[in-house]
Structure 1
Amino acid sequence: MSMQPKTVDEYLDGVDAERRAELERIRVLVKRLVPSAEETMSYGMPTLKHGGLALVYFTASKKHRSLFPSSWAIDELRDGLEGHTTTQHAIQFTLENPLADDLLEDMVRVHPRENDAGRE
C-alpha cells in the first residue's frame, strides 16, 4: 500500500486474500456484537468505534496480524492469551494461531461495558 487508505475497505483491498479473510472475520464479529459500531481509519489502521471511542483497531503485516482492543480487555482476559504475543495495547496472532471467536467476543465486550460504566 503506497498511499494511506481512507476507508476500511481500501485498507482490506491492499491485504492478500488469506490475511484479509482473518481481518474480515474480526470485522464481522465486532459488527455482530456491536451493530452500532462505526468503521473508520485511525492511525492508519481499520478502526471500529463505539460511542465515538475506538473499540478495536486491527492490522495485517507479513508475519502476523494485530488486534488492538482496550488495555482493559487485555488485562482482564490475559489468561486466555497464552500463546499470543501481547503488549499493553496489542495482541499479535497468526493464521496458524488465530484468536478464538469466544476470546475475541469477550475482548470486544469489555470496552463498551467499561465505557458505559463511565471508565475513560
Structure 2
Amino acid sequence: MTTDGAAAVEAFLAALPPDQQAALRALRATIARFLPDHVECMSYAMPGFRQPGVKGRMIAGYAAFRRHLGLYSHSGTIIPTLDCRPFKTSKSGILFTPATPLPDTLVETILRARQAEIATALRP
C-alpha cells in the first residue's frame, strides 16, 4: 500500500463513530493485505484502493452510513454473481455492520473478482 491519499482516508475515518471507525480500519487493513502494491485513495467521496500507475483503475472502496457500512467493487456486475449470504447486497456493494464484519475470504473473493474483471476488459 502506498501513502497517496492516506491523509484524506485518515480524515474520513477519524470523523466516524468509534465502532464504525474500528470496523473500517480493520477492513482497510484486510484490503491492504490483499492489495499490497495498490494505491490508497478517495474516490466518489469514499476511501478505496486503485491499481498502481497513473491510469490505475479502482478495485474497491468502502464507506460508512448511519445504519451500516459498505464495501463497493466499483462495478455493477461482480456482487450479483457472488454468494454473499448472509449479508445484504446491492448491485455494486455488500452491506455489513460493525458487529458483523465481512469475512476476509469474502473480501478477497470480491477483490479478486474485480481484478479479473479489469484484466478481462483490458485484453485486446
TM-score (norm 1): 0.82
How do 1:24-39 and structure 2 match up within 5 A? 24-39=25-40
The 10-residue stretch of structure 1 (89-98 or 53-62) with the greater mean CA deviation from structure 2:
89-98
Tell me how far 1:36 sits from its aligned partner.
1.4
Map of 1:7 onto structure 2:
8
> After the TM superposition, which segments of 4 or more aligned residues of structure 1 sit over 4 Å from their partners?
none
Q: Secondary structure at the match of 1:88?
A: coil
Q: Percent identity?
A: 28
RMSD between superposed Cα atoms in Å: 1.9
Aligned residue pairs: how many? 113
TM-score, normalization: structure 2?
Answer: 0.80
Structure 1 residue 72, shift from structure 2 partner = 3.6
Unaligned runs of 5+ in 2: 1-6
Structure 1: tracts of 5 or more residues without a match = 1-5
Q: Paired residue for 1:47?
A: 48
1:99-110 alignment runs, 5 A limit: 99-110=102-113
**Partner Cα distance (1:95, 1:83) in 2:** 15
Answer whether contact 1:72 1:110 (CA < 8 A) is retained: no
Pick the aligned partner of 1:58 from 46, 62, 78: 62
Contact kept, 8 Å, 2:77 with 2:91, in 1: the verdict is no
Q: 2:20 & 2:86 partners in 1: Cα distance?
A: 19
Q: Per-residue deviation at 1:113?
A: 2.1
